[in-house]
Amino acid sequence: MTTYILDQKDRPMRDLRISVIDRCNFRCSYCMPAEVFGDDYAFMPEDKLLSFDEIVRLVEIFARFGVEKIRLTGGEPLMRKNLHDLIARIKEVDGITDIALTTNAVFLVRQAANLKASGLDRVNISLDAIEDEVFQRTNGRGIKTKPVLKGIEAARDAGLEIKVNMVVKRGMNESQIVPMARYFKKTGDTLRFIEFMDVGNHNGWNMYEVVSKKEIIELIDAEMPLVPLAPNYFGEVADRFRYSDSNAEIGVISSVTEAFCSSCTRVRLSADGKLFTCLFATHGYDLKEMLSENQSNADITAYLYEIWTGRKDQYSVDRAKYNKKRRDKIEMSYIGG
Among 15, 189, 215, 313, binds ligand SF4 (CB under 6 A): 313
Q: Is 334 annotated for ligand binding?
A: no
199 binds, among ligand SF4, ligand SAM, none (CB under 5 to 8 A by kind): ligand SAM
Task: Report the distance separating Cα 304 and Cα 275, nearest Å.
Answer: 9
Widest CA span in the chain? 59
Among 27, 52, 63, 73, binds ligand SAM (CB under 6 A): 73
One DSSP character per residue, 254-289 reads: -TTTS--GGG--EEEE-TTSEEESSTT-S--EEHHH
Shortest Cβ distance from residue 54 to ligand SF4 (Å)?
22
Among 31, 63, 211, 226, binds ligand SAM (CB under 6 A): 31
Contact call for residues 152 and 125 (beta carbons, < 8 A): yes
Contact call for residues 272 and 49 (beta carbons, < 8 A): yes
Q: Could you give the string, one character per residue 27-66, with x where binding to ligand SF4 holds by CB under 6 A and - elsewhere? A: xx--xx----------------------------------
Among 15, 76, 249, 313, binds ligand SAM (CB under 6 A): 76
> Helical H runs in the chain?
52-64, 83-91, 108-118, 132-138, 146-158, 177-187, 213-223, 287-292, 297-309, 319-322, 332-335
Shortest Cβ distance from residue 297 to ligand SF4 (Å)?
26
20 binds ligand SF4 (CB under 6 A): no
Shortest Cβ distance from residue 24 to ligand SF4 (Å)?
3
62 binds, among ligand SAM, ligand SF4, none (CB under 5 to 8 A by kind): none
Please report, as ranges, the residues that interact with ligand SAM according to CB under 6 A. Answer: 24, 30-31, 73-74, 76, 102-104, 126, 165, 167, 194, 196-197, 199, 203, 332-333, 336-337
Annotated binding site for GTP: 17, 71, 102, 163, 266-268
Please report, as ranges, the residues that interact with ligand SF4 according to CB under 6 A. Answer: 24, 26-28, 31-32, 74-76, 104, 126, 260-261, 264, 266, 278-280, 313-316, 333
